[in-house]
Amino acid sequence: MRSAWVGETRAARMRIAEEAQPAFRRAVSWGAECGGTRILFTTTGVPVMTRLRMGDRRVLDTLIDAGVARSRSEALAWCVRLVGEHEADWIRELRDAMSAVEEVRNRGPRGTDAA
């Protein structure tokens, strides 16, 4: 059962999310954890399969047919883990490069908010 404060903080959380999403270029989900209790206020679901081309879907379906995965989402997760394992150095280099871009962006000029 959710406490009354969840509803009371909604407007503030929505305002923060509206500012954070363009800044981070990602959807923002909210939750809180205290002790053994975890409450998710919002969750973000994005339909990935509709964005994949048919050839990519066939790869996932082959993994399902071969018994490697039980669903397309599990097959996709398997592929992501495989790339992460075999391309760890490249992924690390990519993350470092993105951090450097973020640092340069933060040192650059700031736009003004006309609103």
Residue 35 falls in which region: left (phi positive, over 0), alpha (psi -120 to 50) or beta: left
pTM of the model: 0.45
80 and 28 in one domain? no
pLDDT at 11 over 70: yes
Judge whether 1 and 36 are in contact, CB under 8 Å: no
Looking at the fold, whether 63 and 90 belong to one and the same domain comes out as yes
Residues 52 and 99 grouped into a single domain = yes
Q: How far is CA 37 from CA 2, 41, 78, in A?
A: 11, 13, 30
Residue 31 or residue 76, greater confidence: 76
Residue 66 and residue 33 share a domain: no
Domain assignment of residue 56, yes or no:
yes
CA distance 75 to 63: 6
Output the pLDDT for position 104.
92
Token representation of residue 2: 């959710």
Mean pLDDT of the chain: 82
How many domains does the chain divide into?
A: 2
Task: Please give the pLDDT value at position 61.
Answer: 92
Whether the predicted pLDDT of 5 surpasses 90: no
Whether 59 and 97 share a structural domain: yes
Token pair of 107 as six digits: 């040192």
Does residue 11 share a domain with residue 60? no
On whether residue 113 sits in a domain, the answer given is no
Local confidence band at 114 (pLDDT 50, 70, 90 cut-offs): low
Considering the domain architecture, whether residues 5 and 24 belong to the same structural domain is answered as yes
Question: Does one domain contain both 34 and 84?
Answer: no
- Tokens for 110, please give them: 């700031």
Q: What is the reported pLDDT for 38?
A: 81
Task: Please report whether residue 115 resides in a domain.
Answer: no
For residue 97, the enclosing domain spans 48-108
Q: 68 and 37 in one domain?
A: no
In a shared domain, residues 83 and 59? yes
Q: What are phi and psi of 58, to 5 degrees?
A: -65, -35
d(CA 112, CA 115): 9
CB distance 4 to 11 below 8 Å: no
